Structure 1
Amino acid sequence: MEIVIVNNKETPLQKILQLQNKSVDCGIKTSVYAINSSYGKGSITNYYFDGLLININNGRFKEDVIFTSKQNLNALELSILIEGEKIIRVSSFKSDLVLEKNESYFIYDDNQTKQIIFHKEKPIKEVKIRMYDDFIRKHKMQTLLSKDKILCLKKTNRNFTRQLTTKMEEIVTEILINSQKGLLKRIFLESKTLELLHLELDFQTKKKYNSDNILKKAYKVENIIQTNLHEQISIEQLARRVLLNQNILKNEFKKLFGDTIFNYTKKLRMNKAKKLLTHTQKPIYEIADIVGYKNPTHFTAAFKKTEQKTPKKYRKTQIGL
């Protein structure tokens, strides 16, 4: 990182990140930085050994911050975002790349100058792993650095991210809470990196089949909604269940079903509510619960907005009272 821009003013990196501690233990070079209170709060911790750099970001900024980065070394980069949003801007790209909460990306960074943008007052919790030549040679991964490979940043498209799996979350959590030192820390960090790398490479080998699977996943989401109308399931949760990027899921679902996930779900709820009002004597509060509204008042308001009458009046018109 070379330049930081806050409020359109260039600021030396040293003013924003203040070194708190620096040490070497069993070959692990550890640096801990605190975010200057004038610019935000939180910390950034770096671990480096044998061509492996693990960077843990945990904090937030008071203003939008743009880090301009020009790396001198090629590297494989794996970024896992637990909280917040990270925007990557590269001059050769027509649009920005966006990494959202509970998403990851795995790319070959081939020394392009890029900007990393974090928005103000958004918490950031990220584990970023960069694998340089020493680490790559040690684990015989040279073929992944070829510029004609799909991992090359120049070939990255809008689908460059993927939803975190449960296994990935478990590994990242282990990294975040680990308190070991010395040799144990070194072995631990390398083993967890290799576990994550295995998951990512396995995903990459299957990636060519993803387009065929997106249709199935969209139908699976529709089935989840149909069979769980009593639950309020967020788009984020749906995307994680089927291991699909949220934006891709929203776009493909609308193409397939002609409506947004929110509107489609609401229509299903209202249709089921109308059937229950017409064909059963269940009280309105119970019907509200069945179709996913824990608050009967909210259900009544939503129903009236859709049907132009309250559930009680709708029931009366259906049974001829």
Structure 2
Amino acid sequence: MEIRFKSSECNGRELVKSFNKDFETSFLSEKEYSDFKHSGSGIVKEIHLNNAFVLFQDQNIQNSENHTIQVVQNHPVFLLQIVIDGDVTFSFNENICSEFNLNKNMYNLFYIPPSKNVYKYLNHKKRILNIYFTAPFLECKMGTCFLKNSKKYQQAKKENELCCFFNKGLVLNRQLRNIVNDFLTCSYGGVIKQSYLESKLTELLLIALASNDSDSIINKLRKEDRESLVRIESYIRSHLETELSIKNLSELAGFNTSKFKTVFKQVYGIPVFQYITSLRIEKAMQLISKHDYTIAQASYEVGYKNPQHFTVAFKKKLGYLPSQLINNGQ
């Protein structure tokens, strides 16, 4: 099995990856690339686990107009693509008439037969997690009925065409974001790291693909409402230091307050204020543990006017004091 990645951002440099059947391997393999001096900054990280190959792109590109990656594969694969930041257009077999779009804070599952495909990135910044695997791995995790009951997949397989499992994509909710973050920031080593990453990958796959209720909710929303909800979630993330009220967020989304609270909880799994608190504590943890912020500095940075109020919220959610982050880091 072989997958070739050819990127326009690296002067046409081609990355060729060869694998055993079904991505089989007995050990964890990791590589990282950061040679983007003439086109931008960031990293591309690859992780090869047993039965899965993961490619994580975290980059800032100088010229997004011609930013493309061509992917050629000689074996059918499944791709779980998670767009944390940026927007991507996927052209199957280089045919611009069969394009699929995936926006920020969304994900989708694709079945891709042997083909030559092009991914075009529409923003300067991108953070995208691509997880490749084959049918036996998916059936092992989700059961054989997942594929047997998918008429779209069965038809696509028969006609050697691409299959997009979720027409409009699904929202990357907080639960999935946390799993993705755990997967990408694992600090273990050796065999423990391999076991941890494999367990997190299984958890991510199960929760992402078992989101039938969320899919139904999203599909029932008008396109404008769905886009508004994703936009507001992004707005919340980028304005954690400000006062965020239900009234203002509802107005920005174009909903009345009742509808906004109801739909937000249905799609993201928890009430909006609980979601905001979780994001604030998550960001504060990173500022304290990775960027040497004091507790007071971190609390102000995520919107708490009183550090004591932040400490109370932190302790209530996680069961320990934020000062322990500093002590553990020494």
Same fold (TM over 0.5): yes
Which residue is 2:221 aligned to? 214
For 2:206 and 2:147, locate their aligned partners in 1 and report how far apart those are by CA, in whole Å: 16
- Of 169, 176, 194, 2:184 maps to 176
AA partner of residue 214 (structure 1) = L
What is the total number of aligned residue pairs between the two structures?
225
Q: Deviations over 1:4-23 (max 9, x none)?
A: 335xx962236xxxxxxxxx
Which residue is 1:79 aligned to? 81
Q: Secondary structure at the match of 1:11?
A: coil
Change (3 A) 1:69 1:235: farther
For 2:199 and 2:58, locate their aligned partners in 1 and report how far apart those are by CA, in whole Å: 22
Instruction: Describe how 1:63-142 pairs up with structure 2 within 5 A.
Output: 63=63, 64-90=66-92, 91-92=94-95, 94-119=97-122, 122-132=124-134, 135-136=137-138, 138-139=140-141, 141=143
Instruction: Describe how 1:1-321 pairs up with structure 2 within 5 A.
Output: 1-5=4-8, 11-13=12-14, 27-63=27-63, 64-90=66-92, 91-92=94-95, 94-119=97-122, 122-132=124-134, 135-136=137-138, 138-139=140-141, 141=143, 149-151=151-153, 154-156=162-164, 159-204=167-212, 207=215, 211=219, 213-214=220-221, 228-231=246-249, 234-235=252-253, 241-243=265-267
For 2:248 and 2:49, locate their aligned partners in 1 and report how far apart those are by CA, in whole Å: 51
- After TM superposition, the score normalised by the length of structure 1 is 0.57
Q: Once the 2 structures are TM-superposed, how far is the Cα of residue 232 of structure 1 from its aligned partner?
A: 6.5
Identity over aligned pairs, percent = 16
For 1:236 and 1:13, locate their aligned partners in 2 and report how far apart those are by CA, in whole Å: 45
Q: Once the 2 structures are TM-superposed, how far is the Cα of residue 105 of structure 1 from its aligned partner?
A: 0.9
Q: Which structure is larger by alpha-carbon Rg, 1 or 2?
A: 1
Unpaired segments ≥5 residues, structure 1: 15-24, 245-321
Q: Secondary structure at the match of 2:211?
A: helix
- After TM superposition, the score normalised by the length of structure 2 is 0.56
* Alpha carbons 1:55, 1:129 under 8 Å: kept: yes
AA partner of residue 104 (structure 2) = K
Unpaired segments ≥5 residues, structure 2: 16-24, 233-244, 269-330
Q: Secondary structure at the match of 1:114?
A: strand
Q: Secondary structure at the match of 1:76?
A: strand
Q: Deviations over 1:34-80 (max 9, x none)?
A: 13211211111111122211222111222231111111222221111
For 1:116 and 1:88, locate their aligned partners in 2 and report how far apart those are by CA, in whole Å: 5
User: Which region of structure 1 is more displaced relative to structure 2, 232-241 or 52-61?
Assistant: 232-241
- Tell me how large the CA RMSD over aligned residues is: 3.9
